[in-house]
Amino acid sequence: MDRIETEALGVPRYAPRESVSGGNAAEEGSPILSVQAASSALAPAAIGARVIAFIIDAIVLGLIQVILASIVGDTTIVGGLTRAIIYAVIGFVYFGYSWTAWRASPGQRILGLSTVNAADGSTLNWNQATMRWAYLFGPSVLNSLFGTQVGGGLGAIVSLIVFLYYIYLLYTAATDPRKQGFHDKQAGTLVASKSS
């Protein structure tokens, strides 16, 4: 965009270099450098710790699901669909709230991990939490919804595709220098170790 287009969008235009107070390029860039330093100082969490935290969270959510299954005991297709939707909503609220309010899920908190904005280490906003949840758990939600409608060979193929997707997420997180999996990159998030 040129200067006229940015003014039309309401973006203030920058003063020429001569009239900037301080006039020192190092001083002008110092806020940017401090954000870069903060984000590069975050220590990416080890994959093993992330997997263990996920298992802890899965146990907590599994207990909630067992309680709900006893309440919603309908074994018809409609009952299965209803349970799948309820489980998805509970999972979304569980992770979304904990990432935005506590910076970590309960499993991550136990292990001293936090899920933060990859750019500056700040707390995730709801948009980032939603994106991260969708890329991380969306396929399994679709599988559970799809699995209630069909079974047999087609259901097994869908389950295999979802399983391979999770292997891909694990591979991308393990091979990335900052341990950002595909889901982390899409949401602009980073799982960091609080100990550093």
Q: CA 96, CA 91: separation in Å to the nearest integer?
A: 8
Q: Quote the pLDDT of residue 41.
A: 67
Q: CA 108, CA 63: separation in Å to the nearest integer?
A: 18
What letter would DSSP give residue 20?
S
Q: Quote the pLDDT of residue 69.
A: 80
Q: Quote the pLDDT of residue 78.
A: 78
Instruction: Give tens-digit pLDDT for 31-50.
Output: 443 444 445 568 999 999 99
- pTM, two decimals, is 0.75
Task: Give the CA distances from residue 182 to residues 31, 35, 122, 146, 191, in Å, rounded to whole numbers and listed in that order.
Answer: 29, 23, 20, 23, 12
Q: Quote the pLDDT of residue 47.
A: 96
Q: CA 144, CA 19: separation in Å to the nearest integer?
A: 61
The list of the chain residues with pLDDT below 70 reads 1-41, 147-150, 195-196
Parallel/antiparallel/unpaired status of strands 43-44 and 189-193: antiparallel
For the chain, the straight-line distance linking the first and the last C-alpha, in angstroms and rounded, comes to 40
Q: Quote the pLDDT of residue 146.
A: 76
CA-based nearest residue to 147, from 131, 158, 139, 137:
158
Q: CA 141, CA 11: separation in Å to the nearest integer?
A: 41
